Chains A and B, each alone.
Chain A
Amino acid sequence: MKKILEVKNIFKSYPAKPTPFKALNDISLNGYEGEVLGILGPNGSGKTTIIKSIASLLEYDKGQVLINGIDNLKDRKKILPYLGAVLDGNRNIYWRLTTLENIHYFSGLRGLDKNKTKKKVDEILKALMLEEIKDKEVRLLSRGMKQKVAIACSLIHNPALLLLDEPTLGLDIEISRGMEKWIKKYAKEEKKCIIVTSHDMDFIEEVCDRVIIIQKGKIIFEGNVKDIKDKYYNQKRVRITLNNRISESALNSLKEICDLKFETVDNKSTFSFKMKNIKSFHSLMGSINSHDLDLYNIHTMEDDFEDIFMDIIKH
């Protein structure tokens, strides 16, 4: 696969007291054609800073970003034809203009004449299912539709690299799932590299070929979704429900054995924990017996992607 994006050891910090705030700390990553790369991380971890650094909307302090082999800060003008980005979702377009007027305006700024892009515009409208609202003022559209119009505007020049910052933020499930399908299809069929940031774990799991997890400006995990699952799915989550309310002393002794989440609903206490090995499970059961707790139900389940993500950033 052809490498479209190469981020090499970029650093970015902002002045702060007592020490500068490190927004990006030695970030390196690659993006290939036909691939969807997901960037995950908690709020303030540096996801958007990476995206903006790639889009050359932000000057990083050290390192290099190459798009199709071209340095994005030294030859900014040359990389822009290869780049499309939606950074602020539905706010990236003019709400008083119609869908088509927005597309024509942004394509015009890229030197693409309205008459020469007609076919491409029709294709994009069809692919994103925007045909019916092409003559509607954007302000009258739903958030999801606005988001799609913003994506349409960023695609008109057929960029090799598409950056989508939180593309499903605030969208309902139906539109979000539609977006998933489109992103996957577009990357594969058009051989584009798409980089997405998101908080929506289902979305990331469904769409991304590879995932990078960052925290405090540093990459803490890189691999495909399967790699993450293989590495972290060996831990089952066990949920035990009691017929009655657990006493404070019994709870404390269980907490000494493992890290557990606890809640009481309708006088039934439930606690769940990660079973690291069978020994810890036996110890816990032993403690339940010794406190004469009345067992109602034991349920084992696999972690979902969100739990795994939370685990990685916690540890």
Chain B
Amino acid sequence: MYWVAFKSEMVRTFIKAKRYFFDTLSRILITYLVFIAIFYGLQYMTGPSLDGKKLDELLIGYIMWTFAVSAYFENSFDISEESTIGTLEQLYLAPIGFHIIIFFRMISGYLFSIFYNVSVLYLTMLTTGHWIELPIFHFLLIITLAIPSIYGIGYIFGGLALVYKKIENSLNVVQFALILLVALPAWPIQPSSFLPFAAGAHSINRMVVEKIDFPLWWYFFIAANSLVYFLIGMSIFKIFETRAKKFNLLGQY
């Protein structure tokens, strides 16, 4: 049952990307333009003595931020949109549970994000001639372990969207908070390592820029951190969901 539901969600995400072609194209184009702006902007500011490490750090930082933003923003925005277009209650009638549908949406969104971001990153490297050594397996492993913490945040804002419907302003504020999470130093272990996503984002940065090999326990730490935030987020979502059902808010917009 879950596999079929997941496939359906993937198909829907793909069809949506196809039907909202302009939006999809804009997303790819904007990501590409930002990459290019980072590259040439930094070159313009530093002149011929461009620090390759600094550039890699910025590019990886930006890519981590886009992953984080798409992971939480799409979820919360989707719930708000489903309320508006009137499909939310139908999703609640599916036996697999709405929180699972949301989870599948986040995964399918994540897979599409990987496709968009990694392709745009390679396109930027091709255009600029500046190549980042990206250990793709470890990159995907760490980001896959770390991203559920952002899903946790996505669940919290999804829950808020269920009850309060219009939450775009707070969503925008969180986007800036995510810049902080991506930029914070988190390796070796320190208080900021316990924040959501920070350990994963910083690890990828260090791995690409300084070629650090992390011990196995660090991967477990990232996974555990992620799981805790994911579970907290889902529990809070359930509280909001109960409230929405109690006050008949599911179908309202």
Contacts of B119 in A (CB 8 A): none
Q: Which of A99-107, A182-190, A269-277, A301-309 contacts B (4 or more CB under 8 A)?
A: A99-107
Quick one: which of B9, B247, B248 has the most chain A CB within 10 A?
B248
Complex interface bits, A1-33 against B, C-beta within 8 A gives 1, otherwise 0: 000000000000010000000000000000000
Residues of B within 8 A of A (CB): 1-2, 4-5, 7-9, 11-12, 15-16, 19-20, 85-87, 89-97, 101, 242, 245-248, 250-251
A133 at the interface (CB under 8 A from B): no
Q: A57-B89, A91-B85, A96-B20 are in contact. Are A104 and B11 (CB under 8 A)?
A: yes
**Do B94 and A80 touch (CB < 8 A)?**
yes
**Do A83 and B93 touch (CB < 8 A)?**
yes
**Do A57 and B251 touch (CB < 8 A)?**
yes
**Do A108 and B242 touch (CB < 8 A)?**
no
**What is the CB-to-nearest-CB distance from A313 to chain B, in angstroms, rounded to a whole number?**
23
**What is the CB-to-nearest-CB distance from B25 to chain A, in angstroms, rounded to a whole number?**
16
Contacts of A87 in B (CB 8 A): 89-90, 251
- What are 5 residue pairs bridging A and B, where the CB atoms are less than 8 Å apart in the complex? A52-B248, A58-B245, A97-B15, A104-B8, A108-B11
**Do A101 and B15 touch (CB < 8 A)?**
yes
Q: A92-B90, A109-B8 are in contact. Are A57 and B250 (CB under 8 A)?
A: yes
Contacts of B9 in A (CB 8 A): 108-109
> Roughly how many angstroms separate A59 CA and B92 CA in the complex, as a whole number?
13
Contacts of A96 in B (CB 8 A): 15-16, 19-20
* Size category of the binding interface on chain A: 35 or more
**What is the CB-to-nearest-CB distance from B79 to chain A, in angstroms, rounded to a whole number?**
15
Q: A101-B15, A104-B11 are in contact. Are A111 and B93 (CB under 8 A)?
A: no
> Roughly how many angstroms separate A35 CA and B1 CA in the complex, as a whole number?
31
Which residues in chain A, 74-97, are within 8 Å of chain B measured between CB atoms? 77, 80-81, 83-85, 87-88, 91-97
Contact of B251 among A88, A104, A111 (CB under 8 A): A88
**Do A105 and B4 touch (CB < 8 A)?**
no
**Do A109 and B94 touch (CB < 8 A)?**
yes
Which residues in chain A, 230-288, are within 8 Å of chain B measured between CB atoms? none
Contact of A93 among B87, B96, B242, B245 (CB under 8 A): B87
A110 at the interface (CB under 8 A from B): yes
A153 at the interface (CB under 8 A from B): yes
In this complex, what residue of A is CB-closest to B82?
A94
Contact of B245 among A57, A101, A106, A112 (CB under 8 A): A57
**What is the CB-to-nearest-CB distance from B21 to chain A, in angstroms, rounded to a whole number?**
11
Q: Contacts A57-B89, A109-B9 given; 16 further ones with Cβ under 8 A? A: A49-B248, A57-B245, A57-B250, A85-B90, A94-B12, A94-B87, A96-B15, A96-B19, A97-B15, A104-B8, A105-B8, A108-B11, A110-B1, A110-B95, A111-B4, A111-B95
